[in-house]
Amino acid sequence: MRNAFINTLNNYNRNELFLLTADLGFSVLEKFRDKWPEQFINIGVAEQNMTGIAAGLAIEGYKVFTYSIANFNTLRCFEQIRNDICYNNLDVTIVSVGGGFAYGSAGYSHHAIQDIAVMGTLPLITLLLPSDPFETEWCVKFALENKGPKYLRIGKNGEKSFYKSLNDVKTLNLLNSFDGSVIALVTTGGMLSVADEVCQSLGKDGIKCDLYSLPIINHSLMKDLKQISDKYEYIFSLEEHIKDSGLSAILKNLFSLEKVKIISFGLDKDICHEVGDQSYLRKIHGIDSYSVSFQIKKILNEKM
């Protein structure tokens, strides 16, 4: 996703564009720095200062992107994002790399598992949560073509592509569809590969499960989501984030629970001490493909 981000930014460049980094992005951002050196600033390890500078540039009419590890340019400088960027409705895109457990071995300080909930509370902001390189390109182009505060959360571990071309990406993407399916799995922000494995596992047992990916959360998406609520008995949500405060909360607030049952697969808020790589942490917290498919099968069998 990182390469998709910087390549899209690099190819689109205009004079009003600035990219700021807090001393991160080595081996990724050099493409932009070398091509547009006067529009690239390494602020140093000073994310709050970077956010204030981004706001100042945006006030002067520039389109600004800030880049850092997910928790560092969100939670560390939440006040500056809230008061400087969002309050003034400025055209700044906060790019956080390493969503979820992407930096799992670095420990809890690097686990971005509350960011969607926190950033989603801010006024006027659009959440851009791609799950693969094509969705990342789509999200970057959205950020470039639309004004206002935006939060772009990307992975760092060579994520698999699920689309044939950029033209296939929309606000709500149906990637697997089966006639007569009464359940759906909805995911966002880097969990698409796991969700796809879940659907394949369910399919081997004769369970038809439609798969949706959401690269953007804004008002236009809400209309699209409402259209699918009457199609299913169960909608399962899967996220590498604290459950019931990110994607799951959005779905439960949107849908009439009398018509469809929302069941979330995510993380408990009290986890903070486990350290390991992304696949290990997903497994011990029950959001790997085996654990999720097992639980879905159990839920459906109990219903029957």
User: What are residue 181's phi and psi, to 5 degrees?
Assistant: -70, 135
At 223-243, the pLDDT tens digits run 778 778 778 999 999 999 999
d(CA 106, CA 184): 34
Can you say whether residue 62 is alpha, beta or left, with left for phi > 0 and alpha for psi between -120 and 50 degrees?
A: beta
d(CA 294, CA 193): 17
Q: How confident is the model at residue 13 (pLDDT cuts 50, 70, 90)?
A: low
Hey, is 214 helix, strand or coil?
A: coil
Fold of 171-303: Rossmann fold (3.40.50)
- Looking at per-residue pLDDT, the higher value among 87 and 257 belongs to 87
Q: Do domains 2-154 and 171-303 have the same CATH topology?
A: yes
At 170-205, the pLDDT tens digits run 999 999 999 889 999 999 988 999 999 999 999 999
d(CA 216, CA 207): 28
Cβ neighbours of residue 114 closer than 8 Å, sequence gap 6 or more: 75, 241, 242, 245, 269
pLDDT higher than 80, residue 257: no
Tokens of 184: 């759906």
User: What are residue 62's phi and psi, to 5 degrees?
Assistant: -85, 150
Residue 74 carries which DSSP code? T
Beta bridge pairs of residue 69: 97
Q: Looking at residue 203, what is its pLDDT?
A: 95
CATH no. of 2-154: 3.40.50.970
Q: How confident is the model at residue 304 (pLDDT cuts 50, 70, 90)?
A: low
For strands 234-242 and 261-267, give the pairing. parallel
- Looking at per-residue pLDDT, the higher value among 88 and 157 belongs to 88
Domain extent listing, the chain: 2-154, 171-303
d(CA 50, CA 20): 7
Cβ neighbours of residue 291 closer than 8 Å, sequence gap 6 or more: 283
d(CA 127, CA 31): 25
pLDDT higher than 80, residue 151: yes
pLDDT higher than 90, residue 90: yes
Whether 300 contacts 291, CB under 8 Å? no
Of 70-74, 223-227, 259-263, the least confident:
223-227
Q: Looking at residue 218, what is its pLDDT?
A: 82
CA angle 144, 48, 86 (to 5 degrees): 50
Q: Looking at residue 286, what is its pLDDT?
A: 96
Nearest to 232 by CA among 217, 249, 212, 213: 212
Nearest to 115 by CA among 267, 1, 232, 275: 267
Q: How confident is the model at residue 255 (pLDDT cuts 50, 70, 90)?
A: confident
Q: Looking at residue 256, what is its pLDDT?
A: 63
For the chain, the average pLDDT equals 92
